[in-house]
Chains A and B, each alone.
Chain A
């Protein structure tokens, strides 16, 4: 997966102002940053410290103090911020936004949100809420401030689905509504989840529990739901979302089941003038080519 990330960073559009090239939740080891260094995208000194000339290309966010310090030790000269991503983004508030230099870091050309945890879904006042995806939507909005900057989002969650019943029911209803509205989407998802699951979702089968499905199917639920919600959240804002990678991996004894996505956000007038068409195109694209990374590291399409 890291190799895919490196390739995307290498292909990122050139920076136009002082916006970073890469924003990451790097973790204690900073493996993705090391991969960029190994690929020659970030230059370092003889002791491995990021050179001044490349210091503003990369920003890492890490809330845990031990992990933050380990990261500083591992990659000297890295611009690391000891904070929670949600604090920096002022959480989901539509009224509070990061300002000044803090805002600028969220205009990075490539944003890597490797949450290494499950997708959080809540029901609030009868509505589904996806806090992590709301942060993504805020990042998209910040990129959309004039001059809008095309950007790439890499997103990773643990692939298990363990939601309360109320959340499960609400998610099933959301998907069922979308299957009904967009037949092509329903057909693609059926290839991913299988006919039984799709029929259970569409028919409102209360006995169908995501958490009881096979782990790989749970991953596929996320591979369906996450892109769909992101595309929906940025609908009409001017962004055309292209899904480059929709990937599941892990689920072995050595590794937890994971899902990862790589989206390109391209600013286009069509995003605002033809929001419905752009939304449908993006939605179908999101489930068009899901893949699996097998234990040997090979990329295998989930269906033809």
Chain B
């Protein structure tokens, strides 16, 4: 309380207890959750704190919030999510929580008043918080309304007596469970206010440690942190070629990255090499259009997709229009293994929000086909609402038998196969041919030098074209291919070393090279 103009009334106000709500403004009840959703929750789908937190952030997005503030530090003793969205009334709260079920699933084509495609499901999103904390307070006021809702949900009571929570739904729509009690009241809101503030209190131990970045196991936990950094600095850390995995960061940072990956925030500055940036500008435009900012402990949260590095790279677009689903996307391929490894795979987005993480199985692509080059690629697919029906309730997985998924999977695999071939061609075959040409030029130079020392004159250098002047360029290329297909033992040796060099650490590479040399000598 800083010094300022005196307010005489404050002297009295300071020492009085908070006004109890008038009986007419108070309300309470039970939160009941359909058994199917309880099954999802108890199966550990929300075991990651990031998965729960992103649900809350996505709820803010659906409330047309432009800015969400997330406060975790210090210590994650309480977690606060504040948005400037449309807000919630008491009646809406009660409607959402009297029975949280899949029947609350939104209209397939639902959009927010500002036209954003809806991402989350409000009841399920808030219920996910029950995995993080024992108590949640929601403070909200809706645009254009004069009421300020204050409601507290007690999740702990139900954990202490889970059996007592089972109920039979009278309408025969399956079992339902009580997940907590709520009580609240309505106050008068300031005119023109609209927001939702969520306070998660009594954070459960496992979640608190992860949110705060306190290591469970000091030996295996990463210690570098992204806390308190600008987006540009974070990009610098993510593009470091020595960073092999996000697990090298502390769990605070990993949680932050996972939330950023999932929610519809902007791409990071310089996230992709400038020579291919123009080709993905439509993706940037889509998130820009969403005008959604998340401040995570003061850091402007961005997508952690950072595709950079000094080696060669190319980008290919993906576009598919099918019977059940349409999608666009891109493949980014670079020479050598793509790090951090979390980006190696395909990330699917529906309605601008990610479905889980990058899928390293490439939607169940055959792992044996060009495995080396699979590890050199990252892809993003933005699917339309056709794929929404295939989405499981956790928003992390898709039903693989759903027609939209099957259709998209086939189209994706076809494109992926082409990209793999191209990666092999661009990054390996052509480079290999170039290298051999360089070596040949070097040999010629050495021979010329030796000949010169001995006063011998050599004939002019000849190329394949010189040897076969009647053939067109295509014939010559085929001739080159034939030449390189009949590789000598030393060439195979060299190829193996090349692959090892790109895939292994320096120490492992040396070990491998020694073992290989030993084998050849035997």
Contact = CB atoms under 8 A, between A and B. Distances in A.
A96 interface: no
Given A55-B75, A56-B74, A76 B228 contact: yes
Interface residues of A, number: 48
Contacts of A31: 2
B1 A256 contact: no
A77 interface: yes
Contacts of B298: 47-49, 76-77
Interface string A214-258: 000000000000000000000000000000000000100001111
Nearest to B9: A117
A28 B3 CA distance: 11
Given A47-B298, A52-B227, A76-B228, A118 B1 contact: no
B413 to A, nearest CB: 43
Contact of A47 (B4, B14, B75, B299): B299
Contacts of B467: none
Nearest to B297: A76
A282 interface: no
B14 A55 contact: no
B71 interface: yes
Nearest to B195: A69
Nearest to A121: B11
A56 B74 CA distance: 8
B119 interface: no
Given A47-B230, A117-B14, A55 B74 contact: yes
Contact of A44 (B5, B75, B228): B228
Interface in B150-204: 197, 199
B190 to A, nearest CB: 9
Contacts of A84: 14
A116 B73 contact: no
A156 to B, nearest CB: 7
Given A117-B1, A256-B4, A79 B14 contact: no
B387 interface: no
Q: For the complex, would chain A's binding face be called helix, strand, loop or mixed by DSSP majority? A: loop
A76 B139 CA distance: 21
Contacts of A250: 3
A256 B473 CA distance: 90
Contacts of A118: 6, 8, 11
Chain B CB within 10 A, most for which of A29, A31, A117, A160: A117
Interface string A13-34: 0000000000001111101100
Nearest to A101: B77
A291 to B, nearest CB: 17
A49 B228 contact: yes
A120 B3 contact: no
A37 to B, nearest CB: 13
B122 interface: no
A202 to B, nearest CB: 28
A11 interface: no
A140 B80 CA distance: 32
A72 B80 contact: yes
B69 interface: yes
Contacts of A77: 73-74, 227-228, 297-298
Contacts of B228: 44-49, 51, 76-77
A77 B298 CA distance: 8
A46 B15 CA distance: 39
Contacts of B6: 117-118, 158, 160, 256-257
B3 A50 contact: no
A162 interface: yes
Nearest to A78: B74
B256 to A, nearest CB: 13
A169 interface: no
B384 to A, nearest CB: 37
B212 to A, nearest CB: 9
Interface in B55-83: 69, 71, 73-75, 80, 82
B1 A49 contact: no
Interface residues of B, number: 33
A114 to B, nearest CB: 6
Nearest to B212: A52
Contact of A120 (B7, B14, B74): B14
B1 A50 contact: no
A86 interface: yes
A69 B227 contact: no
A131 interface: yes
A65 interface: yes
Chain A CB within 10 A, most for which of B5, B6, B213, B299: B6
A124 to B, nearest CB: 12
A69 B68 CA distance: 12
A256 B3 CA distance: 8
Contact of A49 (B8, B227, B233): B227
A69 B67 CA distance: 14
A118 to B, nearest CB: 4
B225 A52 contact: yes
A76 B296 CA distance: 10
A72 B78 CA distance: 12
A28 B1 CA distance: 7
Interface string B3-23: 111111011101100000000
A97 interface: no
A116 B1 contact: yes
Contacts of A267: none
A58 to B, nearest CB: 9
Contacts of B139: 65
B17 to A, nearest CB: 9
B227 A45 contact: yes
A50 B5 CA distance: 30
A156 B1 CA distance: 10
Given A46-B233, A49-B298, A79 B3 contact: no
Contacts of A73: 69
A246 B15 CA distance: 25
B229 interface: yes
B299 A27 contact: no
Nearest to A62: B1
Given A44-B228, A45-B227, A131-B15, A114 B2 contact: yes
B119 to A, nearest CB: 25
Contact of A29 (B2, B233, B297): B2
Contacts of B11: 117-118, 120, 158
Nearest to A31: B2
Interface string B386-415: 000000000000000000000000000000
Given A50-B74, A115-B14, A255-B4, 18 more contacts: A25-B1, A45-B227, A45-B229, A47-B299, A48-B228, A48-B298, A49-B228, A55-B73, A65-B139, A76-B73, A78-B74, A79-B75, A116-B10, A117-B10, A117-B11, A117-B14, A120-B14, A258-B3
Interface of B: 1-8, 10-12, 14-15, 69, 71, 73-75, 80, 82, 139, 197, 199, 213, 225, 227-230, 233, 297-299
Closest 10 CB pairs of A and B: A45-B228, A76-B298, A49-B228, A55-B74, A116-B1, A27-B2, A256-B6, A118-B11, A77-B73, A27-B1
12 contacts: A28-B2, A29-B2, A45-B227, A65-B139, A72-B71, A76-B73, A86-B15, A116-B1, A118-B8, A158-B11, A250-B3, A258-B3
